[in-house]
Structure 1
Amino acid sequence: MRYHKLKAGECPGTYVVTEPVTEQDLLRIANQIARKRLAKGSAITSTTEAAERLQTLLQDREHEVFGALFLDSQHRVLAFEELFRGTLDSASIYPREVVKRAILLCSASIIAVHNHPSGDPEPSQSDRVFTQALKEALALVDVRLLDHLVVGAEGVVSLAERNLL
């Protein structure tokens, strides 16, 4: 993957801008890096790590997006997929479709994620109810729901950290 207008810096993981960039360029570069860090085979070692990677991808969307990070038994990424897209303040999400993808990908666990375009990552009551339904549906096929992250421009809320799983 080529990073537009960047070259590697002296320290690992650092970059130097080689020419003027716009805000849009920076956002595109951040998304490229976030997607690379979610590449198949990369390990997810904590909720914080997953949250940082996923927030970059979803925080600026103008509509709700629900996605899932599908992981193997060693918590290595099998795939990240945006599964549902909604409106400004809601999205129709079907647990059985998430279960189908988990089975097709031979996933041992998933981290669910969706954004709140308002910027406020506070989970709604319907987010909590859906999370329980998804957890139960996945458990029927022996796939563990590790977390459900709600992303907003103001931050990320982990339902697991709030004991809402």
Structure 2
Amino acid sequence: MPDYELLELILFRALPRGDTKPLAKRLLKTFGDLNRVMAASPARIKDVNGAGQAVVEQLKIMEAVAHRMARAQVIQKPILSSWDSLLGYLQTAMAHQQIEQFRVLYLDRKNVLIADEEQGKGTVDHVPVYPREVVKRALELNASALILVHNHPSGDPSPSEADIDMTYAIRDAAQVLGIVLHDHLIIGKATELSFRSQGLL
């Protein structure tokens, strides 16, 4: 089913008596694809002619459902043996966000995900991260390992010098306490970059 037909069906719940095809096409033209429509901010959605609060609410419900379904594939499972599911979840949750978001996946001794926490939101090209807070939270959760994740709204997952420096600061702080940093993933629009696979960790 093409994106516009699926979007029409979603919009029908918000506009039960209206012709949803023109609005579906306007939304797709504005944002590019269904993922970007659902990830758009409520204010930007409302800027599209015909999209009011009911449309925003319906799209945000569908976005939350998509995130929950993807998250169910990784929660309470050994992350390192469910890597493709993890990447799918992170792509769903972060690839189309308009601002940078930094998350930490906290793992137990068996590398089972015990917490997925957003540590900060920033601007289109920067998010403040505090290594001490990341490690402090790991101790509170009794985590044995970490995976750092952030997105690049530009779509290019190449790490900046600041990304590399921050990763090493967290790795060093965690190492002192016996906590392992497995990886740092940067999520782009269509792909992701792994510090470990690039030899940066």
Match of 1:9 in 2: none
Count how many residue pairs are aligned between Structure 1 and Structure 2.
Answer: 147
What's the TM-score once normalised by structure 2's chain length? 0.67
8 A contact 1:51–1:149 mirrored in 2? no
Q: By how many angstroms is 1:35 displaced? A: 2.5
Q: Name the structure, 1 or 2, with higher relative contact order (CA <8 Å, separation 6+).
A: 1
**C-alpha distance in structure 2 between counterparts of 1:49 and 1:139, whole Å:** 27
2:77 aligned with 1:42: yes
Partner of residue 21 from structure 1, selected from 1, 6, 10 = 10
Cα–Cα, structure 1 residues 48 and 161, in superposed 2: closer, same or farther, change >3 Å?
A: farther
* Letter of the structure 2 residue corresponding to residue 87 of structure 1: T
* Structure 2: unaligned runs, 5 residues or longer: 1-5, 12-33, 39-58
**For each residue in 1:33-90, what CA deviation from the matched residue of structure 2 results, as whole angstroms up to 9, or x when unmatched?**
1232343x22211544422221211111111110011101111110100111111110
Match of 1:163 in 2: 199
**C-alpha distance in structure 1 between counterparts of 2:157 and 2:127, whole Å:** 15
Match of 2:105 in 1: 69
**Structure showing greater Rg:** 2
**C-alpha distance in structure 2 between counterparts of 1:31 and 1:50, whole Å:** 12
Question: Share of identical aligned residues, percent?
Answer: 37
8 A contact 2:99–2:124 mirrored in 1? yes
SS of residue paired to 2:10: coil
SS of residue paired to 2:166: helix
Match of 1:93 in 2: 129
Cα–Cα, structure 1 residues 47 and 130, in superposed 2: closer, same or farther, change >3 Å?
A: farther
Match of 1:119 in 2: 155
**C-alpha distance in structure 1 between counterparts of 2:172 and 2:83, whole Å:** 20
2:90 aligned with 1:54: yes
What's the TM-score once normalised by structure 1's chain length? 0.81
Partner of residue 81 from structure 1, selected from 104, 117, 126 = 117
8 A contact 2:73–2:86 mirrored in 1? no
**C-alpha distance in structure 2 between counterparts of 1:60 and 1:34, whole Å:** 15
Tell me the C-alpha RMSD between the 2 structures. Answer: 1.9
8 A contact 1:69–1:80 mirrored in 2? yes
Cα–Cα, structure 1 residues 66 and 33, in superposed 2: closer, same or farther, change >3 Å?
A: same
**C-alpha distance in structure 1 between counterparts of 2:74 and 2:94, whole Å:** 13
Q: By how many angstroms is 1:153 displaced? A: 0.7
Q: By how many angstroms is 1:21 displaced? A: 2.7
Match of 1:3 in 2: none
Where is the strand percentage greater, Structure 1 or Structure 2? 1
